[in-house]
Structure 1
Amino acid sequence: MLKPKRMISKQEAIEILDKCDHGYLSMIDEEGNPYGVPINYFLDKSAHALYFHCSKTGKKYRALHLHPQVSFVAVAQTQIIPDRFITHYESALISGTVSFIEDEQEMRVLLGRLCERLAAGELAKRPSVIDMYINAVAIGKITIESISGKRNVDY
């Protein structure tokens, strides 16, 4: 790393992942080209994994089946400091392997957790929304194989 003083502990990187609700998933597409997309997710610390949803018919789904090795980054608290030509930030980067959840009951539980993360308190419509999308959505699990983080707050 160019500036090792910006490195943070694995625990701090996990805390960043836990507080963010979106990040950027990088993979290899069907043609072998780099492909990155923003995704919503939630962290399951006990499973050492990130979970996300996607369409079962999309480019991301097809690419991840062909090339399950991925990289994912979440960035929090960015602030550009114009007069100093720097950016204050904190980020977490993981590498891992994607697998897809096949069991419908497990998918329902995980979709409920994703809904709670992204739309906390919206309980009334949650079951009908999950019922509406359960057959069209895939739930991906990124098993975290490595994690690192950086922070620049050079006050």
Structure 2
Amino acid sequence: MAEKRYHMRRAEKEITDEKEIREVIAGQEFMTLAMCSGGSPYLATVNYAFDPKSGTFYFHCARKGRKSEVIESNPEVWGQVLEDGGYIEGKCDYAYRSVHFWGKAEAVTALREKRAALELMLQKLEKNPEAAKRKFINDGSLREVMIYRVRAEGFTGKKSIRPRASGARASC
């Protein structure tokens, strides 16, 4: 997807450090995907796992349903991961870090990649991921589950952090 990159009007808010971008991605449970089919926009918020080695997001959904239909008709997506730092009382401001990415959503068909994606998700979300892997990941579930991947073609980030209290670290 050829995107015109706009400059950020408030350059001091731009996140340019790749480590910080990956920190935001790793620290959140949900992402929102913007999609379009037949001229109609569609948003879906999904839980996800991210493979930092390949820059790939994974999420699962129903085989049949609007999300799958929209992706199959137009795989181009724009995604956002948001870290909510809350309202800053008395400043009329909000603390946050957000990362946007874009790419194509593709169905994962190889069982090995499906297994790896589900293991990443369970590792991220479960308190006891090994027990959850044994319970939920098997040949039957791998054949049935619908997994999509989005290999991020690029990232942008923006933040507005809380003012520092004397001697304290800045925080989102």
| Aligned equivalent of 2:108, options 96, 101, 104 | 101
TM-score by length of 1: 0.89
1:90 counterpart = 2:97: yes
Q: In the comparison of the two structures, how many residue pairs are matched?
A: 154
**In structure 2, what is the Cα distance between the partners aligned to 1:64 and 1:13?**
25
Residue 64 of structure 1, CA deviation: 0.7
In structure 1, stretches of 5+ residues that fail to align are none
The structure richer in strand per residue is 1
- Residue of structure 2 in register with 1:142 after alignment: 150
1:95-153 Cα distance to aligned partner (Å, 9 max, x none) = 11111111123212221221111114143343332346434321111011110101101
- Residue of structure 2 in register with 1:45 after alignment: 52
1:63-110 Cα distance to aligned partner (Å, 9 max, x none) = 111111111111114210132111011111101111111112321222
TM-score by length of 2: 0.81
- Residue of structure 1 in register with 2:36 after alignment: 28
Task: Tell me if the contact between 1:10 and 1:147 (Cα under 8 Å) persists in the aligned partners.
Answer: no
Report the aligned-residue RMSD.
1.8
| Aligned equivalent of 1:63, options 70, 79, 95 | 70
**In structure 1, what is the Cα distance between the partners aligned to 2:99 and 2:62?**
25
Task: Tell me if the contact between 2:102 and 2:155 (Cα under 8 Å) persists in the aligned partners.
Answer: yes
Task: Tell me if the contact between 1:10 and 1:148 (Cα under 8 Å) persists in the aligned partners.
Answer: no
Identity score, percent: 23
**In structure 1, what is the Cα distance between the partners aligned to 2:162 and 2:13?**
9
Aligned runs of 1:100-119 on 2, under 5 Å?
100-119=107-126
In structure 2, stretches of 5+ residues that fail to align are 1-7, 164-172
**In structure 2, what is the Cα distance between the partners aligned to 1:78 and 1:20?**
12
Task: Tell me if the contact between 2:24 and 2:81 (Cα under 8 Å) persists in the aligned partners.
Answer: yes
Task: Tell me if the contact between 2:62 and 2:145 (Cα under 8 Å) persists in the aligned partners.
Answer: yes
SS of alignment partner, residue 69 of structure 2 = helix
- Residue of structure 1 in register with 2:27 after alignment: 19
**In structure 2, what is the Cα distance between the partners aligned to 1:23 and 1:74?**
5
Structure number, greater radius of gyration: 2
Residue 59 of structure 1, CA deviation: 0.8
